[in-house]
Every structure is written in structure tokens, then in C-alpha cells.
Amino acid sequence: MKTLRTRMKTLRTRMKTLPALPVPDRRQIAGGAVFLWVALSPWVWGFADNHAAVANHVALVFGFAPLALIMVNLRPAAFVTLLGGLWLIASPWLLGYATDHAAWLNELVSGTALVVLSANAAGVGSLRRARRRPPRPAGAPTGVAKTVRTSA
């Protein structure tokens, strides 16, 4: 019995000292889910009889899905995936299958999700926020730290 207690105590100590596993970035999982939906949606929504739509989906999945899986680690892949999302939004009208309501609505929603996801991975919003700085007071020199006056 004593050896079991000792083993359990040793095991608890080892468990406490193990490094924490990194949390995976969920944007990669979301990008994979969007492309899984893009791959299946012609059959789910019933517009698989349109060859242009199916060819568009197959090309998008094979061309952009691998980029969606690495867009978090490779910023240019996020920008290219963003272009793929824009194409997905515009493709029903450019390829001529916009007469099917389910097809163009599906492309609009999944393309918008892909654009938002890849713009977030590319850091487009953070660039815009970084450019917005509070206005400098008139006559303040550039590059000099702001002095703080304290009242006594």
C-alpha cells in the first residue's frame, strides 16, 4: 500500500511539472471548416447539377484550402485566401449560376466568412487601428516623450 501512495505522489508531482500544451489557433480550424462546407454545399443545397458551380467549388477547395490551414502562420497565405473569399462571393454572377437562390446565398455567406477570417489572420484590422493615433497637440515636438505635470 505504501508503494502505491508513493507512486501516486510521484505521479502528481510529475503532472504538476509537465509543460502546458499550446492552445491551437482556432482560425485554422475555422478556415478548414469553411472549406469543408464549400466542398459539400453543392450537394447539401442541391445545386450540384450546375457544372460551373461544382467546378468552382472543386477548384476553390483544392487551391485555397491548404492556404487556409497555414494562413495564421504565413501572412501572404491569408491575403491570397482573402482573394479566394472575394472570388467566392462574386463567382455566382461571373460564372452564371446566380439564378439559383440557394447557390448565390451560400456563396455570399461562406465567402464573407472566409473574407472576415482571412482578414483577421492577415491582421488587416490591427493595421488600421495602429494607424489611428490620437492627434498631437499643436506645437508639440515629434519624437519627444510627453511630460507629466503633477500638482502639489
Q: What is the pLDDT of residues 3-41, one digit of tens each?
A: 777 887 777 777 676 677 777 778 888 999 999 999 999
Q: How far apart are CA 28 and CA 31, in angstroms?
A: 5
Reduce the DSSP state of residue 5 to 3 states and report it: helix
Kindly state the cell numbers that stand for 70.
497555414
> Where in the chain are the domains?
41-124
Contacts 24+ apart (CB under 8 A), 104-107: 106/41, 106/45
Q: What are the pLDDT tens digits along the chain (152 aa)?
A: 567 778 877 777 776 766 777 777 788 889 999 999 999 999 999 989 999 999 999 999 999 999 988 988 889 999 999 999 999 999 999 998 889 888 999 999 999 999 999 999 888 876 555 555 555 566 655 555 555 566 65
Given a contact cutoff of 8 angstroms between Cβ atoms, the answer to whether 61 and 144 are in contact is no
Say if CB 61 and CB 35 are below 8 A apart. Answer: yes
Question: If 0-12 CB within 10 Å is exposed, 13-18 middle and 19+ buried, where does residue 114 land?
Answer: buried
- Cut 0.75: pTM above it: no
Cell 507512486 appears where? Answer: 7
> Would you say how long the chain is, in residues?
152
Letter for the amino acid at 48? A
